[in-house]
């Protein structure tokens, strides 16, 4: 067997030594390093200051804000103008802090609506003029977020042609800007969104319904600010394909009629008969007005400053530093974790059979799997090229997206990423005919939050089972029980030894950004596979 250069493998101890690292690293530590790199690339400090995205220029009697975006430069004249900031989302505190660093006392005032606990990880300047509201505990709209939304609406409506508004929008903004149309109450709205989430509705479907019952979403905040001299929206995308009108439900994006109506979404999940009359009336009125074009504010400019693409590019570059071949799978992984975990497992099984199949047979074997995973068109070519390399430590298949989970048990602790990792582990364990000790799978949320617990995600694979605290003959049944109870967090916490750091859990705390989830599938390749 040909020895891979620059790597020493010990699968029992699950350690690999990577050239340039200078110490032994476990496979899970390699995955965590790659994940952390992807998140760092889309943090506000990297985006705003590190990339000189925003520059304050004084030239004679003129004052300008220069925005450098995608190799283009946009200049905004702020001479004799008041600069205001409003923001809502998981990442806006960090963006605001960086803008304060650039603009200093040129900021007149502003309002931010951020998640509970976000200020433990990020802070504004000691002389800040921005008012900060914390709310949306558990990523659900609450009275604190409602107060923030009311304050933002009132502030924007008071601005005039003497004012410039910087509007900061990131994932989580929908829950942090809840202002339902009367007579809908916040409790009624929250109950509806919770029902949709538990039924497995996608983020796009959730936001279409949110827009229909909101005073500020779907371009309505833009309409409220129609008298402002200029509204500049800085957006970090947390949605597949970056539909600006759906990120935080698009408060500053002119409304476009969605492909599926709110009523159709509610009917899809059998919720129409469960709704209070207040919601039914508002949604029906919205349905009747869907063909009315929204007003386009010519004084609005929108910049998408980060998305999943940037994070994955960073992850791929980081993987190379461990002498891994990164293979990009998709930015569009979506669907129920039941289907996605099985598709990932099936992909691995096909890869393990690669050396026994012809090229055409291999491509045929992965065809259906790649459809489920929304694989990019060149994935099969990149994968085959990687499998044919011999002087590498392994292959890292990298993807992003956002899966869904059907919640059956209110008491369970976990999230879509931990459940996806655990389901993948169970698939590998139950396949008695193959060995899977040479691979691990990481799934984690870029915002540092995965459901109702303190983890961002977890690492899966049969290797984690060798670290179980309690030996049992019924490992598969134990995993199935935790999965059924939506209690994946407790499985990792209770059964897996915390032998080093966080073990197989991913803990980052609130990261201050949100570009969906990152999935990393690491396969250590002990010898070449010749085509």
257-290: pLDDT as tens digits: 888 999 999 999 999 999 999 999 999 987 776 5
Same domain, residue pair 328 and 297: no
Residue 349 has pLDDT above 80, yes or no: yes
**Mean pLDDT score, 454-474:** 83
- pLDDT at residue 21 in the model: 43
309 versus 24: the higher-pLDDT residue is 309
Q: What is the model's pLDDT at position 472?
A: 65
pLDDT tens, position by position, 201-224? 988 899 899 999 999 999 999 999
- Mean pLDDT of the 53-80 span: 93
pLDDT for the residue numbered 471 = 66
Q: Are residues 243 and 366 in the same domain?
A: no
Percent of the chain whose pLDDT exceeds 90: 73
The alpha carbon torsion through 371, 372, 378, 381 (nearest 10 deg) reads -90
Considering the domain architecture, whether residues 28 and 87 belong to the same structural domain is answered as no
Average pLDDT over residues 186-196: 93
Higher pLDDT pick, 26 / 2:
26
Question: Does residue 52 lie within any of the structural domains?
Answer: no
Q: Which among 42-51, 276-285, 464-473 has the top mean pLDDT? A: 276-285
Give the CATH number of the domain where residue 399 resides.
3.40.1480.10
What gap in Å lies between CA 321 and CA 43, rounded to an integer?
Answer: 21
Question: Rounded distance, CA 356 to CA 302, Å?
Answer: 51
> Domain range for residue 91?
65-306
- What's residue 197's pLDDT? 87
Contact by Cβ (8 Å): 132, 119: yes
* 182, pLDDT greater than 70: yes
In a domain, 497, yes or no: yes
- Whether residue 29 is found in the same domain as residue 75: no
Domain match, 364 and 284 both: no
Q: What is the pLDDT of residue 76?
A: 95
Residue 466 pLDDT grade (very low, low, confident, very high; cuts 50, 70, 90): confident
Neighbouring CB atoms inside 10 A of 505's CB total 23
Looking at per-residue confidence, does 472 or 479 come out higher?
479
d(CA 15, CA 7): 10
Residue 519 contacts residue 450 (beta carbons within 8 Å) = no
Span 117-153, pLDDT tens digits:
899 888 999 999 999 999 998 888 999 999 999 999 9
Q: Does the structure show a pLDDT above 70 at 69?
A: yes
Q: Is the pLDDT of residue 488 over 50?
A: yes
The domain boundary, picked from 306, 335, 367, lies at 306
Q: Whole-model pTM?
A: 0.88
| Strand order across the beta sheet in which 7-10 lies | 7-10, 15-18, 24-26
Q: Is the pLDDT of residue 346 over 80?
A: yes
What pLDDT shows up at residue 317?
98
pLDDT over 50 at 293, yes or no: no
Instruction: Burial-class residue 83 by CB neighbours within 10 Å (0-12, 13-18, 19+).
Output: buried
Query: Looking at the structure, do residues 241 and 339 belong to the same domain, yes or no?
Result: no
pLDDT value for 531: 22
pLDDT of residue 5: 27
Same domain, 116 and 147: yes
Q: Indicate if 298 and 424 belong to the same structural domain.
A: no
- Say how far apart CA 389 and CA 354 lie, in whole Å: 13
pLDDT of 80 above 70:
yes
User: Is 121 among the domain residues?
Assistant: yes
Q: Is residue 473 in a domain?
A: yes
Residues 234 and 348 in one domain: no
Could you tell me what percentage of the chain is helix, strand and coil, using 3-state DSSP and rounding each to the nearest 5?
40, 25, 35
Q: How many domains does the chain have?
A: 2
Mind listing the pLDDT tens digit for each residue in 83-112?
999 999 999 999 999 999 999 999 999 999
Residue 2 lies in a domain: no
Which pLDDT score, from 0 to 100, does residue 524 have? 87
Query: 88 in a domain, yes or no?
Result: yes
Claim to verify: residue 392 and residue 256 sit in the same structural domain = no
Domain membership flag for residue 531:
no
Of 134-148, 198-212, 467-481, 507-521, which gets the smallest average pLDDT? 467-481
Scored b (16 or more CB within 10 A) or e, 465-496 reads: beeeeeeeeebeebbeebbebbbbbbbbbebb
Would you say residue 47 lies in a domain?
no
pLDDT for 528 equals 28
Q: 283 and 424 share a domain?
A: no
Q: What is the CATH number of the domain that holds 234?
A: 3.40.50.10180
Average pLDDT over residues 47-76: 91
pLDDT (mean) for 183-190: 95
Which of 520, 447, 518, 507 lies closest to 43 in space, CA to CA?
Answer: 447
Residues 333 and 413 in one domain: yes
Mean residue pLDDT of the chain comes to: 89
- Sign of the CA dihedral 379, 384, 387, 390? negative
Higher confidence at residue 291 or residue 338?
A: 338
For the chain, the residue count is: 531
- Res. 436: pLDDT tops 70: yes
Domain boundary among 306, 330, 365: 306
Please report how many Cα atoms fall inside a 13 Å half-sphere around the Cα of residue 333, on the Cβ side: 34
167-186 mean pLDDT: 95
């Amino acid at each position: 067997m040909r020895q891979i250069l620059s790597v020493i493998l010990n699968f029992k101890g699950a350690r690999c030594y990577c050239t340039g690292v200078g110490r032994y690293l476990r496979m899970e530590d390699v995955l965590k390093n790659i994940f952390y790199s992807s998140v760092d690339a889309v943090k506000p400090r990297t985006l705003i200051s590190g990339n000189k995205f925003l520059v304050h220029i004084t030239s004679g009697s003129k004052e300008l804000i220069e925005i450098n975006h995608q190799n283009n430069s946009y200049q905004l004249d702020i001479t004799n103008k008041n600069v205001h900031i409003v923001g809502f989302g998981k990442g806006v505190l960090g963006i605001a802090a960086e803008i304060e660093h650039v603009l200093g006392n040129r900021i007149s005032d502003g309002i931010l609506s951020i998640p509970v606990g976000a200020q433990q990880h990020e802070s504004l300047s000691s002389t800040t003029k921005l008012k900060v509201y914390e709310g949306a505990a558990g990523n659900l709209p609450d009275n604190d977020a409602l107060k923030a939304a009311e304050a933002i609406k009132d502030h924007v409506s008071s601005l005039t042609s003497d004012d410039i508004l910087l509007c900061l929008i990131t994932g989580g903004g929908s829950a942090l800007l809840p202002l339902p149309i009367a007579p809908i109450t916040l409790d009624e709205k929250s109950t509806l969104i919770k029902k949709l989430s538990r039924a497995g509705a996608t983020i796009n479907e959730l936001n279409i319904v949110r827009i229909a019952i909101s005073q500020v979403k779907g371009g309505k905040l833009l309409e409220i600010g129609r008298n402002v001299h200029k509204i500049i929206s800085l957006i970090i995308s947390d949605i597949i394909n970056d539909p600006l009108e759906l990120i935080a439900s698009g408060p500053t994006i002119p409304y476009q009629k969605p492909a599926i109506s709110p009523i159709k979404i509610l009917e899809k999940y059998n919720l129409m008969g469960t709704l209070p009359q207040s919601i039914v009336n508002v949604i029906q009125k919205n349905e009747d007005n869907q063909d009315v074009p929204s007003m386009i504010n010519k004084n609005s400019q929108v910049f998408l400053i980060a998305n999943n693409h940037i994070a994955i590019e960073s992850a791929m570059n980081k993987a190379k530093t461990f002498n891994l071949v990164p293979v990009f799978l998709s930015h569009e992984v979506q669907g129920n974790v039941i289907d996605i975990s099985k598709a990932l497992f099936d992909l691995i099984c096909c890869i393990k059979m690669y050396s026994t199949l012809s090229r055409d047979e291999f491509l045929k074997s992965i065809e259906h799997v790649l459809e489920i995973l929304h694989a990019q068109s060149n994935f099969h070519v990149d994968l085959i090229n990687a499998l044919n390399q011999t002087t590498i430590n392994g292959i890292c298949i990298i993807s992003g997206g956002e899966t869904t989970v059907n919640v059956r048990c209110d008491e369970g602790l976990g999230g879509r990423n931990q459940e996806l990792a655990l389901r993948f582990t169970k698939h590998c364990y139950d396949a008695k005919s193959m060995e899977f000790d040479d691979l691990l799978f990481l799934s984690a949320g870029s915002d540092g939050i995965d459901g109702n617990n303190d983890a961002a995600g977890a690492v899966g694979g049969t290797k984690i089972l060798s670290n179980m605290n309690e030996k049992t003959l019924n490992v598969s049944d134990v995993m199935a029980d935790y999965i059924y109870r939506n209690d994946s967090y407790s499985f990792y916490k209770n059964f897996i030894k915390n032998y080093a750091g966080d073990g197989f859990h991913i803990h980052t705390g609130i990261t201050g950004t949100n570009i969906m989830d990152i999935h990393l599938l690491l396969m250590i390749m002990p010898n070449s596979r010749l085509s």
